[in-house]
Structure 1
Amino acid sequence: MPDSPLEQLLGRARGPMGPSIELDFGFDSGPLQELGALLGRMNGFFVFNAGVQVFRAGDEGLGPDLLSWNTDEVWKSTYEGLADHVFCFGQDLFGTQFAIVGGERVVAFNPETAETEDIGASLDDWAAWLLSDPDVNGVASFAHAFQQENGALAPDERLVPLRFFVAGGEYAFENLVVREAGEAMRIRGPIAKKIHEVPDGATLHLGVTE
């Protein structure tokens, strides 16, 4: 019997990023129950040349801690409520957040617009989505090429565009800078808020200053 998509993803993973842990979110089923079981098996990992990161849980380890990451203090306060409904368990190279909404749905949260894309009802659906196109959904080839030229990212680093993608910025090396992951999200929170406040048809100029 072939492995499930999540098993296939774990087979490609580099981890763990933290010591063994038992994690119970108080759900008997659904993606939060699955997340607890996943981190119990491998407490944080990277996949697709670090194009995708799943956060570890606990005080020790590499990269962001799952519970701290979902606090206002790290980055969510800059979104002023736009990110309160998403429980983020991982991210891609550009800071797109993989999250659980309402304990029932797995989504991709766009850090520049705070919009969500529904992926499925389980982590297996999420893994299948990633595996269906690793270069697009998992940023695999871009992550490999960028780090070959610029060096490996640290576990707590992600990329931020100088000209935001939502404003027409290119997925090109010269348009990207390395930032600490929390800072990368805090930079984009006010942008997402502005986008939500701008009426249809209005012009909004976006960018990041080095």
Structure 2
Amino acid sequence: MPADVELGISFSALRQWVVRTGGAIALDGALRFFPPYSCNALPGLAVWNEATGWKKNYLSLTPIDLVIFAEDAFGTQFYIEESGRVGIFWPETAEREPLSLSVPQFFETIADDPEGTINISLYEDAVASMGPLKLSEHFAFRLETALGGRPSLDNLIVMDSSRHMAALGKIAVQLARI
């Protein structure tokens, strides 16, 4: 069954973007779009959005209802609402930040300002220092920014993306209890 049917949302614009970017990545891997089906070591939309995957670590904060369609190399998640508008899911705090952007506007915003949107220079510095990421990995902050860590090269490690998201879920739950 196609992922768009399972998720109840049409992803034709996302499919077009995946085709245009040559396989679900953009900006040399700094931005990843989950394809309709798992490919190239990148999970498909339905797989990444499973409630029994990384999302289960968010407990009552769980973003089960969010359809995550993209992420940056640091684990910031981007979701699409039923209305077709895009939002940011900050995984270390479980906060949702709705944006007033359609999917095409989201793509344009990232392309126009990759520094301000996905911190492209930190990504490029990390790749130069630590090597390119596998599609199944993130650059994770040793000390998350929500806990006072700095978004800097000396605060980064390479981590499996599912394990990273699970760890961030546990941090979000702890922060919510403060």
TM-score (ref. length: structure 2): 0.85
CA RMSD, aligned part only? 2.3
Q: Give the structure 2 partner of residue 116 of structure 1.
A: 96
8 Å Cα contact 2:38/2:47 also seen in 1 = no
Q: 1:51 aligns with which of 30, 53, 59?
A: 30
Residue 101 in 1 paired to residue 78 in 2? no
Runs (4 or more) in structure 1 with deviation over 3 Å come to 22-28, 36-44
Q: Give the structure 2 partner of residue 191 of structure 1.
A: 171
Q: 1:136 aligns with which of 113, 116, 123?
A: 116
Q: Give the structure 1 partner of residue 72 of structure 2.
A: 92
Q: Tell me which moved more, 146-155 or 45-54.
A: 45-54
Using a 3 Å threshold, how does the CA distance of structure 1 residues 38 and 50 change in structure 2: closer, same or farther?
closer
Residue 64 in 1 paired to residue 43 in 2? yes
Which segments of 5 or more consecutive residues in structure 2 lack a partner in the other structure? none
C-alpha displacement at 1:57, in angstroms?
2.7
Identity of aligned residues (%): 27
Using a 3 Å threshold, how does the CA distance of structure 1 residues 179 and 121 change in structure 2: closer, same or farther?
same
C-alpha displacement at 1:81, in angstroms?
4.1
State the AA in 2 paired with 1:50: G
| Matched positions, count | 174
Which segments of 5 or more consecutive residues in structure 1 lack a partner in the other structure? 1-21, 199-210
Q: Give the structure 1 partner of residue 52 of structure 2.
A: 73
**Secondary structure, counterpart of 1:35 in structure 2:** helix
8 Å Cα contact 1:85/1:102 also seen in 2 = no
Larger fraction in helix: 2
Q: Tell me which moved more, 92-101 or 122-131.
A: 122-131
**Secondary structure, counterpart of 1:117 in structure 2:** strand
C-alpha displacement at 1:172, in angstroms?
1.5
> Which structure has the larger Rg over C-alpha atoms?
1
TM-score (ref. length: structure 1): 0.73
C-alpha displacement at 1:59, in angstroms?
4.3
Q: 2:127 aligns with which of 134, 142, 147?
A: 147
